[in-house]
Amino acid sequence: MMAQALSELRCALRFWRRSWTHKKAEERGRFYRVVLGRDVLPRGITSKRSFSEDPVKKTTRMREENGTDRRIVPKTFRGEPETIAKATRRAIYQRTVFIRFLNSHSKDALNANTNNQNDQTKIGERESPVAIVLLSGGLDSATTLAFARSQGYACRALSFEYGQRHRCELEAARRIALAQQVLAHHWIRLDFGCIGGSALTNAEILVPKAPQLDMVWKTNPESIPVTYVPARNTIFLAYALALAEVHRSYDIFIGANAVDYSGYPDCRPQYFQAFEHVAELGTRAGVEKNTDRRFRIHAPLLQMPKTEIIQEGLRLGVDYSMTHSCYDPLDEAGTPCRRCDACRIRHTAFRQLGIEDPQLARLSTNPTMRPHTASSE
């Protein structure tokens, strides 16, 4: 695309340069003489010396002779005379067309260079493959994004506003995407509220909470919690797959974790393996098989406990003060309730590591909202 644009640009410049030669000026007659300011004489004036006459007298004489104050181009082999104003308009129009041609091809070349269908980004001296990373704004997704970047991927983040009660996580996702310098941050709006069936999307269903603040998380739930959103990961991965196919990316990263919530059906290894098979059967890229690459769903945190996830994120330089995990925040700023399951899992992991939760350090200005010291309720 770039070579074609440069070739057309050279042809246009060559034509433009030739059109201003003496031969072209003679062929096109008065038009180029008007533009170049050569041999443009008012009607009745037979010598260039007449231009040295007094401007006031010349204007008066022209009005008397022609009934107008415009200079008239003498007749040429083309026939009819032409006013300088009309010739100037023609010159401006052709110049405008030429500038538009240059601008359009320069933009096409820029777009072809930056938004290449192969979507490969040069980092240093090597090309980095592009990955789609599901970014919710939580601790796990922020770590997953950092992990993907550490593996040499140039990442496109994908976030969803699906009617969740903890919408402040979207602001956290924006902060994380900016901090980790993603190629692009895509936003998709859905309405899971019309489906219901989850405490995260239905205000009538209460989010389960512990009776006290900062109670240590001890066991996994025996059944699927009410915070499970029906088919959420399936829908999210379907959108991620479509985005990956458009940008010719074959790697999708998701921060799913089966250790904390083993009861979630869409956080199991078998589920992600099955979705990879769906991607091969249900996409143009998978059916045509123009490359040896295959779609892969990466869930690097799937079997890691929360403490190891935090340690890995700290090693990769993740700023966890930007993240948000609470299912039912106390305000729009995202102050965590410290009683829901997500808060308890997060805060228990930080306490086991002997680290104060960076999110609380950033948001808590009230001493009563500071986390307790490590203890076992």
- Residue that wins the pLDDT comparison between 266 and 218: 266
State the Cα–Cα distance between residues 259 and 140, nearest whole angstrom: 12
Q: Are residues 106 and 154 in the same domain?
A: no
376 is a domain residue: no
Whether 13 is covered by a domain: the verdict is yes
Residue 128 phi, psi dihedral angles, 5° rounding = -105, 130
Instruction: Give me the sign of the Cα torsion angle 134, 138, 142, 143.
Output: negative
Domain that holds residue 108: 2-114
14 and 91 share one domain: yes
For residues 287 and 323, state if they share a domain: yes
Q: What's the CA gap between 255 and 312, in Å, rounded?
A: 13
Q: Is there a domain that residue 288 lies in?
A: yes
Q: What is the pLDDT of residues 345-368, one digit of tens each?
A: 998 999 999 998 988 887 765 444
Is 377 inside any structural domain?
no
At residue 237, does pLDDT exceed 90?
yes
| Partners of residue 130 on adjacent β-strands | 154
Q: Are residues 134 and 226 in the same domain?
A: yes
Per residue in 104-135, pLDDT (tens digit) is 655 444 454 445 444 444 444 347 899 999 99
* 261 compared with 142, residue with greater pLDDT: 142
Count other Cβ atoms within 10 Å, centred on residue 185: 17
Question: How many Å is the Cα radius of gyration of the chain?
Answer: 34
Alpha carbon distance 15, 20 (integer Å): 9
In a domain, 234, yes or no: yes
Residues 130 and 103 in one domain: no
Domain edge (last residue) among 69, 95, 114: 114
Q: Do residue 85 and residue 194 come from a single domain?
A: no
| Residues 236 and 305 grouped into a single domain | yes
Q: Which residues pair with 253 in a beta bridge?
A: 133, 298
Contact yes or no for 34/116 (Cβ under 8 A): no
Residue 257 inside a domain? The answer is yes
* Phi and psi, residue 33, nearest 5°: -70, -35
Same domain membership, residue 216 and residue 258:
yes
Same domain, 103 and 158: no
Residue 311 lies in a domain: yes
CATH number where 299 lies: 3.40.50.620
Total domain count, the chain: 2
The answer to whether residues 207 and 199 touch, using CB atoms and an 8 Å cutoff, is yes
User: How does the average pLDDT of the chain come out, rounded?
Assistant: 76
- Per-residue pLDDT tens for 13-56? 665 565 555 444 455 444 444 444 444 444 444 444 444 456 55
Q: Which of 97, 114, 131 is the last residue of a domain?
A: 114
Q: Do 140 and 92 have their domain in common? A: no
Q: Which residue has the higher pLDDT, 84 or 313?
A: 313
- Which carries the bigger pLDDT value, residue 102 or residue 73? 102
The C-alpha atoms of residue 78 and residue 29 are separated, in whole angstroms, by: 7
The reply to whether 107 and 192 lie within a common domain is no
Show which of 89, 114, 139 is a domain's final residue.
114
Q: Is residue 266 part of a domain?
A: yes
> Same domain for 58 and 148?
no
SS3 content of the chain, % helix, strand, coil (to 5): 45, 10, 45
